[in-house]
Amino acid sequence: MNAVVKSVDPGSRAAKAGITPGYALRRINGNKISDVLDYMYYSYDSRLLLEFRGADGKLKLVELHKPEGADPGINFDSFLMDKPMNCANKCVFCFIDQLPSGLRESLYYKDDDVRLSFLQGNYVTLTNLSVNDVDRIVRLRISPLNVSVHTLDPALRTYMLGSKRAAAGVDALAALARAGIALNCQIVCCPGINDGAALNDTMEGLYRLGSGVNSVSVVPVGLTKHRSGLPALRPYDLTQAAQTIRQVSAFSEKCLRRRGSRMFFCADELYMMAGLRLPAHEFYEDYPQLENGVGMMRLLITEFERALGKSSAGAPAGSEPFSVATGALAGKYLTNLLKRATEKYGNICGKVYTIRNDFFGGGVTVSGLITGGDIAGQLKGRDLGSRLLIPRNMLRHGGDVFLDDVTVAELSSELRVPVRAVEQDGADLLKAFLEE
């Protein structure tokens, strides 16, 4: 266990109680602390008796009083206070297995940790959970969880996940759903493998699990050009994408009539691949699968149109020309939004550049997987105007580095133009269009 106190927030309840770095937390109110989930659950109370052990082996008891639910202000050596659980599966579609060599080491790490699912929204397969692990999730009410399902058929799931414990993951899923743990599930659809009739069976099975299954996203398999030695998979084409949308939409309408929620949603990519209009804003309900690419473009458009409607037609707009770099799928949508803003203000001079993904291959068309090197290679020498706008999701979370380790500053220097990362927010996009 890595529950060693690294620091204590100045002025916090922990600081006032005399807790200092170097001690390892063992128990709270007599309950053993194994990891961050135990800590969050048992530190919720207002009166805490914390048991620590120092490097010299001596025990230290600290009594702490705080408002119920308040953070005591203790920071530990590691976020999980334990070793992360890595993924033991060998999924036929695993995107990490399709990465080229030479990237930063963290990109190759595969986690399958239910704690990171709860705390950070990561998707997990549940194949590495024991019966005791499932019981603990229920006891501590670790909810919601994001689960990669793909199929409920034991034999097919074993093949797709490359794990003999794939069927056990289905059992764990059912147990969690019955216990009322909220589950947001995803189905990575591979043409000819788990689509068609198999997809219908999966949707029906998830529906029968009841209200514990909150939402399900159906996303197309992502295939890069780096698949040497991996199972042969087919990408979606226009016809297959349209067929999957019709299939999922029909089932989701049935769910809407039965339980008052559509429950099943297709990723934006499928609509874009099929050349179909995105559903209306109301279709996505409360956007339960937004982080999984479901409704992201519709929400951006809705936010942009609302911001455009609230802004004054006489407001000053930047007359300096600018450029926008985005992925192949989003190009036409951003071009349309730029046109809408230009129609209102008249003096906006912008151009959208669709960046071809040479790094991963032309089959990868989402903006979040565009690299700095591809932007530089395709835009160098062009007149980009006063600034280049890029979506924030091209960059490492909380940083300014692309997947190929090119920084925003390096890209700006290469293209000789300021580069501005725009948040995934329609209002921020409009603001970026209007900047002087």
| CATH (domain of 42) | 2.30.42.10
Q: Are 190 and 92 in contact (CB under 8 A)?
A: yes
pLDDT of residue 391: 96
Region 183-196 average pLDDT = 97
My answer on whether 109 and 126 are in the same domain is: yes
Instruction: Dump pLDDT digits (tens) for 318-375.
Output: 568 999 999 999 999 999 999 999 988 888 889 999 999 999 998 899 999 999 999 9
Q: Are 388 and 322 in contact (CB under 8 A)?
A: yes
Q: Examine the pLDDT at 314 and tell me if it is beyond 60.
A: no
My answer on whether 103 and 144 are in the same domain is: yes
My answer on whether 170 and 234 are in the same domain is: yes
My answer on whether 129 and 241 are in the same domain is: yes
> Rounded mean pLDDT of the chain?
93
My answer on whether 158 and 206 are in the same domain is: yes
pLDDT of residue 318: 52
pLDDT of residue 313: 56
My answer on whether 128 and 240 are in the same domain is: yes
Burial class (CB in 10 A: 0-12, 13-18, 19+), 285: middle
Sheet with 350-354: list strands edge to edge: 350-354, 322-326, 388-391, 419-422
Which residues neighbour 428 within 8 Å (Cβ) at sequence distance 6 or greater?
422
Total Cβ atoms within 10 A of residue 426: 20
Q: Examine the pLDDT at 233 and tell me if it is beyond 60.
A: yes
171: CATH: 3.20.20
Instruction: Dump pLDDT digits (tens) for 100-135.
Output: 998 989 899 999 999 999 999 999 999 999 999 999
- Choosing from 293, 327, 346, the residue where a domain stops is 293
My answer on whether 354 and 284 are in the same domain is: no
Q: Examine the pLDDT at 260 and tell me if it is beyond 70.
A: yes
- Token readout for 324 is 């926008």
Region 51-63 average pLDDT = 91
Domain membership of residue 254 (yes or no) is yes
My answer on whether 381 and 396 are in the same domain is: yes
pLDDT of residue 24: 93
Distance CA 13, CA 26 (A): 18
My answer on whether 17 and 151 are in the same domain is: no
Region 151-179 average pLDDT = 96
Spatial CA neighbour of 210 closest among 251, 188, 249, 182: 182
What pLDDT band is residue 144 in, cutting at 50, 70 and 90? very high
**One-letter amino acid for residue 315 of the chain:** A
Proportion of the chain above pLDDT 90, given as a percent: 87
Domain membership of residue 86 (yes or no) is no
pLDDT of residue 301: 97
Domain membership of residue 84 (yes or no) is no
Instruction: Dump pLDDT digits (tens) for 364-413.
Output: 999 999 999 999 999 999 999 999 999 999 998 878 999 999 999 999 99
Q: Examine the pLDDT at 155 and tell me if it is beyond 90.
A: yes
Residue with tokens 């920084």, as numbered in its chain = 407
pLDDT of residue 300: 97
Domain membership of residue 62 (yes or no) is yes
Q: Examine the pLDDT at 1 and tell me if it is beyond 60.
A: no
Bridge partners of residue 64, in order along the sequence = 48
Peptide bond into 231 cis (omega under 30): no
Helix (H) or strand (E) holding 53: strand 47-53
Distance CA 4, CA 396 (A): 28
Domain membership of residue 83 (yes or no) is no
Which of 197-235 are b and which e, b meaning 16 or more Cβ less than 10 Å from the residue's Cβ? ebbeebbebbbebeebbbbbbbbbbbbbeeeeeeeebeb
- Choosing from 235, 259, 293, the residue where a domain stops is 293
Q: Give one word for 27, left, alpha or beta, with left for phi > 0 and alpha for psi -120 to 50.
A: beta
Which residues neighbour 357 within 8 Å (Cβ) at sequence distance 6 or greater?
327, 328, 364, 365, 369, 370, 371, 374
Number of domains in the chain: 3
My answer on whether 273 and 336 are in the same domain is: no
Range of 250's domain? 96-293
Spatial CA neighbour of 277 closest among 197, 218, 336, 196: 336
Domain membership of residue 112 (yes or no) is yes
Which residues neighbour 377 within 8 Å (Cβ) at sequence distance 6 or greater?
358
Domain membership of residue 118 (yes or no) is yes
Q: Are 236 and 364 in contact (CB under 8 A)?
A: no
My answer on whether 116 and 256 are in the same domain is: yes
My answer on whether 288 and 306 are in the same domain is: no
Q: Give one word for 367, left, alpha or beta, with left for phi > 0 and alpha for psi -120 to 50.
A: alpha
Q: How far apart are the first and last CA of the chain?
A: 53
- Choosing from 293, 327, 361, the residue where a domain stops is 293
Region 207-212 average pLDDT = 95
- Comparing 42-56, 173-187, 193-207, 299-313, the range with the smallest average pLDDT is 299-313
Domain membership of residue 287 (yes or no) is yes
pLDDT of residue 346: 81
Distance CA 72, CA 83 (A): 23
Q: Examine the pLDDT at 56 and tell me if it is beyond 90.
A: no
Residue with tokens 């008249």, as numbered in its chain = 346
Q: Is the pTM of this model over 0.75?
A: yes
